[in-house]
Amino acid sequence: MSEQKAVEADEVSEAQIAVHWKEEEFIYPSPRFVSQALMTDPGIYERFAIENFPECFKEYADLLSWYKYWHTTFDPSDAPCWKWFVGGRINACYNCVDRHLDQYKNKAAIIFVPEPEDEDHQILTFQELYVRVNEFAALLRDFAGLKAGDRVTLQMPMTPELPITMLACARLGVIHSEVFGGFSGRSCGERIADLGSRVLITIDGYYRSGSLLDHKKKADEAVAVAKDEGQVVDKVLVWRRHPGQYASQTPMVDGRDHFVNDLLADYAGKRVDPVPLPAEDPLFIMYTSGTTGRPKGCQHSIGGYLSYVAGTSKFVQDIHPTDVYWCLADIGWITGHSYIVYGPLVLAASSVMYEGVPTYPDAGRVWRIAERLDVNIFHTAPTTIRMLRKAGPDEPAKYNFHFKHMTTVGEPIEPEVWRWYYDVVGKGEAAIVDTFWQTENGGFLCSTLPALQPMKPGSTGPALPGIHPVIYDEDGNEIAPGANAAGNICIRAPWPGSFQTIWGDRARYVETYYAKYCQDKDSTDWRDWPYLTGDGAMEAEDGYFRILGRIDDVINVAGHRLGTKELESASLTVEEVAEAAVVPVADEIKGRVPDVYVSLKPGHDASDEIAAKVKAAIDDAIGKIARPKNVYIVPDMPKTRSGKIMRRVLAAISNTMEIGDLTTLANPDVVEEIRIVVQGVEKLATRKGPADIARFGDE
Ligand code: WT7
């Protein structure tokens, strides 16, 4: 533990630069919302009390259709790789599609809104979704030779072919792994290699900010990178953005690349029975960034995951089959998997998906879509809310839409931004839930249940039923609610939505998420295995949590996780660069963004070209979403006597905070030189770090 603390003193985390806002007053949901809400029984908290673990989760699993019921709700024998609903047989695609046909075959399942405003939206009814999923599943099975347990990688943007592909995989038991379309071809290739996929599914192009992007070229790069890492992709299946046309400049590779739309002609009218799969089989793998360079493949189960997204979609987001639900996230992230595809569809809702940029072609676009489709549940991230507010603070009032419910997710939301969301977007009518969770978790961990508890701007809310958080200090002592001190938020007991392991790396799973507070590594009692979220948090006396941000080398940029080590290793691929350090800096729209500091090898002088090369290297390794706010070329890095870079000092400079104690530095003089590079000769006013955060994990 003491070594760990020494490390932390040199590093800096999001939680340490977090700004505190004061506790806000409660705001109560309207009687109108409450009168139609799906969960109005406060008894749910008792039913899901820790004494009722694990059987309480049957309530969520019973929202699904099972081929066969499980014999064991929770099996801890391979701790901490928990198993849920063991013995049960289920199919996720059947639950999202087939079972709704009797009642809802003619109702919209997916409403796709293309970015170009002159292109009509497309409605896929449940029947149409059923047909397309079956035909594509037949193709995957008979043409691509895929079967249950095989993995396929997808790198697809926001068009209906993406959920069709996911559901077709789920129908067969093929494990899908979607890589966010905005990631580089290289990062897709690394994920293909990690997963051992021999099939890549992509699309030729898609629209972003008014241009049709060539997406197929990323597939070529991905296949090349995977091959370098020893994984051969023998089939690339390419959907077309516009049937009958080719949206890409990149040639198709003979024998390897195939147009899906052409092949589908052979599968017209084909039906494929959903495969009844063990509840414990993996449904998908979703990669997320961690503290080392290599992203982690979070493995999610069929039965546990689907139960948890069904329960939370129903009770937290209040989704009825008659609702028109719109989550503005990208399906390339976990939010889109759980709360665009699986959660809403399992409940037979109509789920809207939008291809493009929310402010394209103007600040009214989102509100026009909401009005036209009569969306009544809306879900997005603070970054997007800030962006929409900046682009058009008065736009929502110009359109006739009415949300009954709104979700925010992914980062802390400033009370001021929350209020705009509530007053202007929600028109004072919508209940808001601030949902805290992570890629690993499958679904929400903390949030109010909207008809049962009041909202509190800036706080995520209490834990959800069946989720039992605890805040520990560095030594494993519990920090009491209301203590006004921050600590590491952990979850005491497992829940069915949680991931099963890191694909191919159980040791890393145990080490990253459980080692810190586990007392007995041989124990098969879940009480010995609190789950470490990696976030700093505070709990108020009323049980509402405020999440301060990551306590590790991860930066949450615009609601998405980036590992600083990934950016550093990309920067080091530039030949002139000797050392690189990445720190989080506060940003008005994106919450946090990375600042990159590099020092050069002897014989090179700082230049704009080198800074541009660093940016290009990061674009290539990760993608444009990781683009740094600034690249600073500095004479040297601030270092301890043992040669460790003191990122804390760099973060303080980037965020114009007080630099603090420099006595452990080997080269204290360089700090002023760096400060001048960043802030100029005139010293900027500095702000103090919040006292309780500075104490937490700092000494
Ligand atoms: C990290 C997880 C699955 C949600 C999308 C992001 C931060 C998430 C909140 C919230 C404050 C939040 C945490 C968490 N976070 N939700 N409501 N309030 N912070 O998924 O990429 O896995 O990132 O996002 O820091 O650890 P992710």
The minimum-distance atom of ligand 1 relative to the CA of 460 is 17
Q: Whose CA is nearest to atom 5 of ligand 1?
A: 410
Ligand 1 pocket member 546 (CB < 6 A): no
- Residue 691, pLDDT > 60, answer no
> Between helices 564-571 and 608-621, what is the axis angle to 10°?
130
Token pair listed for 98: 């087939």
Rounded to the nearest angstrom, the distance between the alpha carbon of 81 and the centre of ligand 1 is 22
Which of 342, 444, 491, 547 has most ligand 1 atoms within 8 Å of its beta carbon, as the pocket-test mutant? 547
Ligand 1 pocket member 535 (CB < 6 A): yes
Distance, in Å, from the CA atom of 36 to the CA atom of 428, rounded to the nearest integer, reads: 17
In tens, the pLDDT along 596-637 reads 999 999 999 999 999 999 999 999 999 999 999 999 999 999
Nearest C-alpha neighbor of 465 from the set 423, 503, 496, 419: 496
According to DSSP, residue 273 is labeled P
Token pair listed for 526: 């879940």
> Which of the residue ranges 46-50, 68-72, 111-115, 645-649 would you say has the lowest mean pLDDT?
645-649
Are 301 and 281 contacting, i.e. CB atoms less than 8 angstroms apart? yes
Rounded to the nearest angstrom, the distance between the alpha carbon of 575 and the centre of ligand 1 is 35
Q: What pLDDT was estimated at residue 192?
A: 98
Are 170 and 176 contacting, i.e. CB atoms less than 8 angstroms apart? yes
Rounded to the nearest angstrom, the distance between the alpha carbon of 126 and the centre of ligand 1 is 31
In tens, the pLDDT along 305-317 reads 999 999 999 999 9
Q: Which residue has the tokens 């080590």?
A: 565
Ligand 1 pocket member 497 (CB < 6 A): no
pLDDT band at 689 (very low <50, low <70, confident <90, very high): low
In tens, the pLDDT along 197-210 reads 999 999 999 999 99
Rounded to the nearest angstrom, the distance between the alpha carbon of 565 and the centre of ligand 1 is 19
> Which of the residue ranges 316-325, 331-340, 678-687 would you say has the lowest mean pLDDT?
678-687
Give the amino acid at 370: A
Rounded to the nearest angstrom, the distance between the alpha carbon of 562 and the centre of ligand 1 is 12
The minimum-distance atom of ligand 1 relative to the CA of 338 is 3
The minimum-distance atom of ligand 1 relative to the CA of 334 is 3
- Residue 216, pLDDT > 70, answer yes
The residue that leads in pLDDT, 35 or 19, is 35
In tens, the pLDDT along 366-416 reads 999 999 999 999 999 999 999 999 999 999 999 999 999 999 999 999 999
Q: What pLDDT was estimated at residue 10?
A: 56
Rounded to the nearest angstrom, the distance between the alpha carbon of 16 and the centre of ligand 1 is 16
pLDDT band at 508 (very low <50, low <70, confident <90, very high): very high
The minimum-distance atom of ligand 1 relative to the CA of 441 is 3
Q: What pLDDT was estimated at residue 294?
A: 83
- Residue 6, pLDDT > 60, answer no
The minimum-distance atom of ligand 1 relative to the CA of 561 is 21
The per-residue DSSP string of 196-248 comes to T-SEEEEESEEEETTEEEE-HHHHHHHHHHHHHTT----EEEEE-SSTTS---
- Residue 688, pLDDT > 90, answer no
Ligand 1 pocket member 365 (CB < 6 A): no
Q: What pLDDT was estimated at residue 12?
A: 67
Rounded to the nearest angstrom, the distance between the alpha carbon of 236 and the centre of ligand 1 is 33
Distance, in Å, from the CA atom of 566 to the CA atom of 617, rounded to the nearest integer, reads: 11
Q: What pLDDT was estimated at residue 114?
A: 98
Ligand 1 pocket member 438 (CB < 6 A): yes
Ligand 1 pocket member 457 (CB < 6 A): no
- Residue 89, pLDDT > 90, answer yes
- Residue 2, pLDDT > 50, answer no
Strands 199-203, 151-154: pairing kind: parallel
Rounded to the nearest angstrom, the distance between the alpha carbon of 303 and the centre of ligand 1 is 23
- Residue 73, pLDDT > 80, answer yes
The per-residue DSSP string of 46-60 comes to HHTSGGGTTGGGHHH
The answer to whether the peptide bond before residue 321 is cis (omega within 30 degrees of 0) is: no
State how far Cα 685 lies from the chain centre: 35
Rounded to the nearest angstrom, the distance between the alpha carbon of 419 and the centre of ligand 1 is 20
> Which of the residue ranges 462-466, 477-481, 520-524, 640-644 would you say has the lowest mean pLDDT?
640-644
pLDDT band at 661 (very low <50, low <70, confident <90, very high): confident
Cα distances (angstroms) measured from residue 527 to each of 48, 183, 497: 16, 38, 18
In tens, the pLDDT along 161-181 reads 999 999 999 999 999 999 999
What is the average per-residue pLDDT within 273-281?
98
Distance, in Å, from the CA atom of 247 to the CA atom of 340, rounded to the nearest integer, reads: 26
pTM of the model: 0.94
- Residue 662, pLDDT > 80, answer yes
Are 491 and 464 contacting, i.e. CB atoms less than 8 angstroms apart? no
Expressed in angstroms, the distance from the first to the final Cα of the chain is 12
Other Cβ atoms closer than 10 A to 10: 17
Q: What is the per-residue burial (b if ≥16 Cβ within 10 Å, else e) of 365-380?
A: bbbbbbbebebbbbbb
- Residue 693, pLDDT > 50, answer no
Are 517 and 101 contacting, i.e. CB atoms less than 8 angstroms apart? no
Q: Whose CA is nearest to atom 17 of ligand 1?
A: 436
What is the average per-residue pLDDT within 265-289?
97
Q: How much of the chain exceeds pLDDT 70, in percent?
A: 96
Q: What pLDDT was estimated at residue 11?
A: 61
Are 59 and 49 contacting, i.e. CB atoms less than 8 angstroms apart? no
- Residue 1, pLDDT > 60, answer no
The residue that leads in pLDDT, 355 or 686, is 355
